[in-house]
Amino acid sequence: MSTKRQQSFACEIEDALGNPRDVDAPISFVRSVALDQESLFPHEEFQAVVAAGLQKGYVPTSRGGKTDDFADVMMAVRAVARRDLTAAIGHGKTFLGAVCSWDSASDETAARVAEHTLAGESISWGLTERGHGSDLLSTSVMARKTSDGGWALNGEKWMINNATRGRALTILARTGDEPGPRSLSLFYMDKEEAQGTWEYLPKIQTHGIRGADISGITLRDTKIPQGRLIGAPGDGLEIVLRCLQVTRPLCTALSLGAADSGLSAALEFAAGRNTMGHILLDLPAAQDQLADVAVDLAIAELMSVMGARHLQLNPSEASVISPSVKYLVPHIVDDIMVRITRFIGARAVLADGQLGHVQKTVRDNRVVSIFDGNSVVNLHSIVQQLPRAVRYKAPLPEATPESLISAENNTPLNYQRLMLMTTGGATMFSSLTDSANRASDALDGTGRDMAVILVKRAEALAEEAKAMRPVRNPEPEGFRLAHEFTVLLAASAVLEKVATCESENLWSDPGIASMALRRLIKMLNPQRASLPRKHQNKTKRERESAYRLLDQWRQLSPGYCISAFTPHINA
């Protein structure tokens, strides 16, 4: 593994939180499970994350934050998530509540939001309402101008994370009576300066993240000052849609953390399980199953980083890349968690014992795919842009395929360069063939054969997508093509990483590369792309690579992970 980034922000957070197996650690599995059983908010764990300084990654360096490397921030969130998703989600929601201010707030309001964020205060994102779900155009909370130039808010926001315990909310409200997006505006409501009345809705009982403050707020002539309007009147929905392109990749860090925790638990179980005189982990069948999990996790990580780098280097494509990342990563991790549950068996559903945290992680993880647009919402966004996204596009000098999956980049996010729809072409999709050609020498024969299959499927998909006509309600075939588009983006990222990665990186191993390409082909529609019989099963080289990868995982403390981007030292 590369060791050039051992002082990353993510590693600082990780080292501050320690080993969750230690009952005295700032976040321990034992205490997290106990709080979850009682549906209690993890206050001490939340404060431990604040003390570690994760919130410093939520603020741009221009506003006093710690880093502009968005992938590093994501990996820091991942570090918390693999310990306790409830704490990670409770803390991470402040990023969502603050992000619109980095886009469009006045300097005075943005400075106030930065101050609140850096102090560890919770900021909610008040978008959803009862009965409207993801339909933001149906927002009914009203904001009316007051005689002193401020605003009075009336209505109910429902199913809002940290609505009750948080310091502030960023609220989407209606400022015009006419239907349409230009009647919606955004406001920053600091409870300590707001006047009037508001009431909190009861905490909602949830299947996962039981301790989270998922509640709501009813506003009754709640008055906020004039300067708390974010952007211009009528700009609210556009700002939200731009910022969703940022928050969606961040949410995938939660998925990665869940998968880290699950794989670590499965390895711990297999290493300690004796089956008919054999250690379970020594059996080839067990190694095969866990190797597939580890490789799928590496693919998901690569996809998440690609989403972050597009925001920094190629924001004009984020409208199609961000929903692709938000769809595919939770999709992969949901499947990982199902396989881990089956692998561990009964102990995966027990709340006590050494693996009691597994059942909590599995339940908690299931909510991630719903955040910031569920799978159908994200696929629908991709379908609408697919005919343009598959057009060939030459890489920009500042956004080459290699840079779009790079381990390190400190380019600040420029929210004003985010576009609601791509103007044409997706660099990583367009570069798949070239990346496959350049990766050829680093691949073995099996890997090269599978790269050819993926390239051919990408070529065919491009022709199919170009023939599509934009419609409000796409046919099921459009959703299938959108799914395959996301898989082929991941394939392009894998091939580019293989072609350009440094020695001793996870992706420099031809066995890992060919396993990843096989896994991606299996994610495609089997009627459109399938493996020849000779490549159905792992080769000897792949099995050796898989065992080495699993052995690396086994040597880590439970709070740590194998990563191609932020190498972690075993504490």
Compute the distance between CA of residue 443 and CA of residue 392 in angstroms, rounded to an integer. 25
Name residues whose C-beta falls within 8 Å of residue 527's C-beta, 6 or more positions apart in sequence: none
Query: For 493-536, how does the pLDDT look when each residue is reduced to its tens digit (9 = 90+)?
Result: 999 999 998 777 889 999 999 999 999 999 998 777 778 888 88
Looking only at the bridges linking them, the beta strands covering 229-230 and 151-161 are: unpaired
Mean pLDDT on 529-547: 87
Helix axes 29-37, 43-52, angle to 10 degrees: 140
**Whether pLDDT at 560 is above 80:** no
Pick from 326, 330, 489: which is nearest to 405 by CA?
489
Q: What is the DSSP string of 39-107?
A: T---HHHHHHHHHHTGGGGSS-GGGT-S---HHHHHHHHHHHHTT-HHHHHHHHHHHHHHHHHHHH--H
* Predicted local confidence at residue 248, as pLDDT: 97
* Predicted local confidence at residue 81, as pLDDT: 97
Question: Which tops the pLDDT comparison, 353 or 187?
Answer: 187
The Cα angle at residue 188 between residues 186 and 193, in degrees rounded to 5: 145
**Whether pLDDT at 458 is above 70:** yes
Lowest mean pLDDT among 57-61, 204-208, 483-487, 556-560: 556-560
**Whether pLDDT at 95 is above 50:** yes
Q: How confident is the model at residue 7 (pLDDT cuts 50, 70, 90)?
A: low
Mean pLDDT on 406-412: 92
Alpha helices in 390-444 (DSSP H): 427-430, 432-439
**Sole residue written with tokens 């396989």:** 339
Average pLDDT of the chain, as a whole number: 93
Q: How confident is the model at residue 428 (pLDDT cuts 50, 70, 90)?
A: very high
Contact 299, 516 (CB under 8 A): yes
Mean pLDDT on 300-307: 97
What are residue 188's phi and psi, to 5 degrees? -105, 115
**Whether pLDDT at 546 is above 60:** yes
**Whether pLDDT at 204 is above 50:** yes
Question: Which tops the pLDDT comparison, 313 or 563?
Answer: 313
Q: How confident is the model at residue 371 (pLDDT cuts 50, 70, 90)?
A: confident
Counting residues of the chain whose pLDDT is more than 90, the rounded percentage is: 84
Distances (CA, A) of 152 to 113, 141, 171, 192: 20, 10, 12, 15
Alpha helices in 196-283 (DSSP H): 236-272
Structure tokens at 391: 């057009």
Looking only at the bridges linking them, the beta strands covering 229-230 and 184-190 are: antiparallel
* Predicted local confidence at residue 133, as pLDDT: 80
Q: Is 157 helix (H, G, I), strand (E, B) or coil?
A: strand
Contact 352, 29 (CB under 8 A): no
Q: Is 406 helix (H, G, I), strand (E, B) or coil?
A: coil
Q: How confident is the model at residue 554 (pLDDT cuts 50, 70, 90)?
A: confident
Phi-psi region of 119 (alpha: psi -120 to 50; beta: other; left: phi over 0): alpha
Counting residues of the chain whose pLDDT is more than 70, the rounded percentage is: 97
**Whether pLDDT at 396 is above 50:** yes
Question: Which tops the pLDDT comparison, 569 or 184?
Answer: 184
* Predicted local confidence at residue 134, as pLDDT: 79
**Whether pLDDT at 230 is above 90:** yes
Query: For 51-92, how does the pLDDT look when each residue is reduced to its tens digit (9 = 90+)?
Result: 999 999 999 999 999 999 999 999 999 999 999 999 999 999
Mean pLDDT on 294-315: 97
Q: How confident is the model at residue 561 (pLDDT cuts 50, 70, 90)?
A: confident
Q: How confident is the model at residue 559 (pLDDT cuts 50, 70, 90)?
A: low
Distances (CA, A) of 347 to 37, 274, 283, 285, 522: 16, 15, 20, 19, 29
Virtual torsion, Cα 497, 503, 505, 511, nearest 10 deg:
80
**Whether pLDDT at 570 is above 50:** no
